[in-house]
Every structure is written in structure tokens, then in C-alpha cells.
């Protein structure tokens, strides 16, 4: 039954992708002299369609939750507007297009050379024939593995001064909303995307599976960042990451500090499941909704920028300064 539903949704998405590609993207590609990039254009159409569906869910389902049970009053529209720009760049495929023409080709070429040399792929879905090769089972397995990788990446972003210099931009939003998820420095996004792409190649994630993994993770992260007073109860918060659990990660003095003021570290690094935080003793299930932001931003008045380009520029300044702030 569940398998039939998955197949129905998969086929429906494929049909929509083909329809959008043939009627909109294909004519534009030929008109623009990009007929040699049709395979890339078709893949990009899939990412565009996923992004449009995500934005529809965000606006129609998650945004009303913010109005229903907000944690804080309606935030400054100007502060939120830049986060919308970050979201559109990511969800409408612009960042993906940039990655394809820069780093992804190099990764693909590198793995092609390794395959020629006999380097194996660790196909997780082949671990238990007849079980793990079922579409839904393999998807859940890859989801858990990717969540673990995300956890490690996130720990790194909070552990190394230079990486934190970039990632702190994400934490500088003092009025979190559903749009805050994609508020990242471009270089931080490039590093994360490359690491996830390499892991996907290593464990044999197919292109369609990779799109689905990213789509599910991103939507859940939109809910986590929402200005929505919500927890899932004692048990639920230990099964899935709730908005309350993730807001603690953004809270001043909790989310990015482990041993007191000006120390790197923090709590609640998971993306989908709190299990990794529980395993590595970084989980904080406190029932509280504290102010968000970065300590030096609040106490020292450090400027993280208000517009997109100002935030990107200041991120580079922090990266190359002599002693990046915690």
C-alpha cells in the first residue's frame, strides 16, 4: 500500500517535470543556444519543480502556523526580506546551477577516475537484498545516514573558528522565521554541498533519491526555523526535531557555546532526528524559548549586515580577520 503511494507520487512528479521541461525549459534552451545542455536543463527542471513545491508548502502550510502560535511578535519585515532572497536563490535552482558549472563537474570527474581504478561504491541499499533495496526502506536508510553526515558537518561549523566565521551569519538572524533556513554564506553553502555530494557518490545515492533527500530535509528545516511555538512532547521531541528543539540551537549562550562565553561548540546540531545529539551528548531538551542571535552581535554590537551582499562581504572579513569571534 505504502509502496503504491510512493510510486504514485514519484510518477506524478516525473510527469510534471517532463511537462515543465518540454513546454517551458526546452524552448528556452534552444532559443538561448543551449541545446548542448539539455541533460543539465532537465535535471535543473527537477530542482526548480521541487523548489516551487517547497515554497508552496511553506506559504500555504507553515506560514499560517507562525500566525497561529508565534513565539515573538511579527518581526521586522526588512530583516526577513533578505532571508526570502536566500531562500529563492537556493530553492529556484540558482545555487544548484552555480555548483554544476563550478564544483560538481570536478567531483563527477574525480569519481569517474576512481571508478576506472576499481574504487568501489558502498551501496547501502544492497546490504540486505529484498529488504534494503525496497524504495521506501532504502530512502529511510539514506535519510538516516545523511542526517548523521549533516550532524557532523554542523558540529564542524561550530567547532572551527574559520568555519564559524562563515556559519555565524546563519545564527545572526534575531527574528527567526520559516525563511531563515537558507540564510547562509555562499562559501559555507559550497563547502556543505560538496561534502554531501561526495558522500552521496560514496554510498551510491541515485540522482532522484538525492533530490528527494534534500527536499525532505529542507522542508523540515523550514518548519524548525519557523516563528512557531511548538514542541512534540517528551517522546516526540526525541523522535523528530521540533521548532523548540532547534530554536535552542539558535539561542544566545546555548546554541553556539559549550564552555561559557566566547567558546565554540553548542547544542542541538541535528537536522531531522535528535538521535545524533543524544548519542554524542549535545542534546538540550529544555522547555524554553530564548532570544536568538550571536553573542558578539548583541553585546558588542558587531555588524553582520542587513542586505545580502553586505552579509556576504562581512562574512569574508570575519573569515580572514586575525582572530575570528566566537
For the segment 152-162, what is each residue's pLDDT rounded down to a tens digit? 999 999 999 99
**Residue 29: per-residue pLDDT:** 77
CA–CA gap between residue 269 and residue 171 (Å, rounded)? 13
Average pLDDT over residues 14-43: 82
**Number of residues in the chain:** 326
Domain around 123:
76-320
Residue 179: inside a domain, yes or no?
yes
Lowest mean pLDDT among 16-25, 122-131, 181-190, 208-217: 122-131
Average pLDDT over residues 187-196: 96
CA atoms within 13 Å, Cβ hemisphere of 257 = 16
The C-alpha R_g of the chain, in whole angstroms, comes to 20
CA–CA gap between residue 231 and residue 306 (Å, rounded)? 30
The answer to whether 301 and 294 are in contact (CB under 8 A) is: no
Residue 28: inside a domain, yes or no?
no
Residue 99: inside a domain, yes or no?
yes
251: β partners: 292
C-alpha torsion sign, points 64, 66, 70, 76: negative
Angle subtended at Cα 257 by Cα 183 and Cα 311, rounded to the nearest 5 degrees: 25
Proportion of the chain above pLDDT 90, given as a percent: 58
Q: How confident is the model at residue 2 (pLDDT cuts 50, 70, 90)?
A: low
**At residue 87, what are phi and psi to the nearest 5 degrees?**
-65, -45
Q: Please state the pTM of the whole predicted model.
A: 0.91
Residue 59: inside a domain, yes or no?
no
The answer to whether 255 and 249 are in contact (CB under 8 A) is: yes
Write down the H helix ranges in the chain: 2-20, 26-31, 38-57, 63-68, 77-91, 94-99, 105-116, 135-159, 161-171, 186-203, 207-225, 233-236, 243-250, 275-279, 295-299, 308-320
Residue 38: inside a domain, yes or no?
no
The answer to whether 211 and 50 are in contact (CB under 8 A) is: yes
Residue 31: inside a domain, yes or no?
no
For the segment 108-132, what is each residue's pLDDT rounded down to a tens digit? 888 888 887 778 778 887 777 777 7
**Residue 262: per-residue pLDDT:** 58
CA–CA gap between residue 55 and residue 40 (Å, rounded)? 22
The answer to whether 292 and 176 are in contact (CB under 8 A) is: yes
For the chain, the average pLDDT equals 89
**At residue 292, what are phi and psi to the nearest 5 degrees?**
-110, 160
Q: Which three cell numbers stand for residue 28?
A: 528556452
**Residue 128: per-residue pLDDT:** 77
Residue 85: inside a domain, yes or no?
yes
Instruction: Provide the number of structural domains found in the chain.
Output: 1
Residue 194: inside a domain, yes or no?
yes
Work out the end-to-end distance of the chain between its first and last CA atoms, rounded to an integer number of angstroms: 50
Q: What is the DSSP letter of 111?
A: H
Amino acid at each position: 500500500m505504502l509502496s503504491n503511494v510512493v510510486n504514485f507520487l514519484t510518477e506524478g512528479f516525473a510527469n510534471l517535470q517532463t511537462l515543465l521541461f518540454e513546454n517551458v525549459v526546452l524552448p528556452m534552451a534552444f532559443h538561448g543556444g543551449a541545446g548542448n545542455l539539455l541533460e543539465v536543463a532537465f535535471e535543473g527542471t527537477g530542482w526548480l519543480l521541487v523548489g516551487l513545491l517547497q515554497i508552496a508548502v511553506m506559504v500555504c502550510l507553515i506560514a499560517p502556523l507562525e500566525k497561529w502560535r508565534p513565539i515573538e511578535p511579527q518581526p521586522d519585515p526588512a530583516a526577513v526580506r533578505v532571508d526570502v532572497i536566500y531562500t529563492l536563490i537556493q530553492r529556484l535552482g540558482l545555487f544548484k546551477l552555480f555548483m554544476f558549472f563550478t564544483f560538481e563537474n570536478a567531483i563527477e570527474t574525480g569519481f569517474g577516475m576512481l571508478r576506472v581504478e576499481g574504487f568501489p561504491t558502498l551501496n547501502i541499499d544492497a546490504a540486505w537484498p529484498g529488504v534494503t533495496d525496497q524504495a521506501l526502506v532504502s530512502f529511510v536508510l539514506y535519510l538516516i545516514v545523511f542526517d548523521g553526515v549533516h550532524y557532523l558537518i554542523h558540529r564542524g561549523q561550530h567547532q572551527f573558528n574559520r568555519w564559524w566565521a562563515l556559519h555565524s551569519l546563519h545564527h545572526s538572524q534575531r527574528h527567526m522565521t520559516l525563511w531563515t533556513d537558507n540564510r547562509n554564506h555562499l562559501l559555507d553553502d559550497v563547502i556543505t554541498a560538496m561534502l554531501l555530494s561526495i558522500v552521496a557518490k560514496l554510498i551510491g545515492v541515485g540522482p532522484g533519491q538525492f533530490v528527494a533527500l534534500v527536499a525532505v530535509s529542507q522542508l523540515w528545516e523550514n518548519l524548525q526555523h519557523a516563528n512557531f511555538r511548538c514542541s512534540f512532547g517528551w517522546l516526540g521531541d526525541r523522535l523528530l526535531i521540533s521548532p523548540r528543539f532547534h530554536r535552542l540551537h539558535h539561542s544566545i549562550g546555548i546554541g553556539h557555546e559549550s564552555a561559557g562565553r566566547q567558546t565554540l561548540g553548542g547544542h542541538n546540531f541535528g537536522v531531522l532526528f535528535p538521535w545524533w545529539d543524544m548519542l554524542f551528548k549535545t542534546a538540550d531538551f529544555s522547555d524554553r524559548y530564548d532570544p536568538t542571535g550571536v553573542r558578539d552581535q548583541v553585546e558588542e554590537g558587531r555588524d553582520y549586515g542587513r542586505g545580502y551582499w553586505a552579509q556576504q562581504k562581512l562574512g569574508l572579513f570575519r573569515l580572514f580577520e586575525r582572530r575570528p569571534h566566537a
